[in-house]
Amino acid sequence: MDITKIHTPVMLERTVELLSPAIGEPGAVLVDATLGLGGHTEAFLSRFPNLTVVGLDRDPEALKLAGERLSPFGERAKLVHCVYDEIQDALQSLGYEEAQGILFDLGVSSMQLDQASRGFAYSKDAPLDMRMDGTAELTAETVLADYSEAELRRIFWEYGEERLASRYAKRIVQERAETRLTSSAQFVDLIQKATPAAISRQGHPAKRVFQALRIEVNQELVALERAIPAAIAALALGGRMVVLSYQSLEDRIVKRALAAASTSSSPAGLPVELPEHQAKLRLVVRGAELASDDEKASNPRSTPVRLRAAERVRAA
């Protein structure tokens, strides 16, 4: 597999521009918290000869492929099999107390989408798997077989923002009483039959449901809720963090965490702000930045991206 042909890093130049003030000095450490196929990491290691990158990923196959891609950089690329909310443990296991840069490129990776056998894409028939880490126990098939109607309704609504959550949950429970749902084509067919024609014309009806299943199987939002505060805690004074989000649920979590850390907690009315109440972060970009029109045209996966960035300005 030529991974350079299936993976084009999103907003690479802007990411390099934002992180470069923090990672240019000898001994600097950058955490690529979502290593994937290593496109961002390869670029950073190439451009910053004194940089070490700690690459995290829950997907053993991604780690293997990225490891092959990054092998020319030797010990400057250190890869760890873990979920990104374990960022502090990963750093400490390698002897680092903090990082000068942290990058999150959230969501499902190019490889996971492009490999039909993983079951992430509703357009390709495959087993209902959706695990980012193939060693994990929970699969999409298990969710559809074992979750109650109320639980299915909740995840479709909360994680897919799906208006027909109740309708789909009810239909799944009815269907599984007759036969187990085991393939994406079988599940897509069920969703399409349960969707009013007028709504089907507005876009593929399975899109939001597949997103919700993937998030539930991998506990993505639960991990992200823990990961951003953990990353802030691991960031060195003067260090920078960049986060690329691809859907509103992710971006909302990131926005809330960065806003809280960049706001003073000092009680109103105090004449002097105490050091322990000062903001930990300074926001580096205003709001969320989007990919340029040129990048969207050349790399369609950049179309929904929202970039946020911050710098650590208080040590503790």
Domain extents for the chain?
3-111+220-312, 117-218
* Arithmetic mean of pLDDT over the chain: 91
DSSP, collapsed to helix, strand or coil, labels residue 307 as strand
Residue that has been written with the tokens 């996966």 in this structure: 301
Residues 89-107, mean pLDDT to the nearest whole number: 96
Binding-site residue set for S-adenosyl-L-methionine: 38-40, 57, 84, 105, 112
**CATH code, residues 3-111+220-312:** 3.40.50.150
List, as one string, the DSSP characters of 199-222: HHTTS-TTHHHHHHHHHHHHTHHH
- Percent of the chain scored above 70 by pLDDT? 91
Q: What does the pLDDT read at residue 266?
A: 65
Q: What does the pLDDT read at residue 296?
A: 94
Q: What does the pLDDT read at residue 121?
A: 80
- Give the architecture-level CATH label for domain 117-218: Orthogonal Bundle (1.10)
Higher pLDDT, 268 or 3: 268
Residues 151-166, mean pLDDT to the nearest whole number: 96
Q: Which of 132-136, 151-155, 245-249 has the largest mean confidence? A: 151-155
Burial 208-228 (b: 16+ CB within 10 A, else e): bbbbbbbbbbbebeebbeebb
Name the token pair of 110: 């190019």
Q: Which residues contact 105 (CB under 8 A, 6 or more apart)?
A: 9, 10, 32, 34, 36, 40, 244
**Count of beta carbons in the 10 Å neighbourhood of residue 315:** 10
Q: What is the pTM of this model?
A: 0.90
Residues 6-20, mean pLDDT to the nearest whole number: 90
Residue 278 carries which side chain, given as an amino acid letter?
Q
Binding-site residue set: 38-40, 57, 84, 105, 112
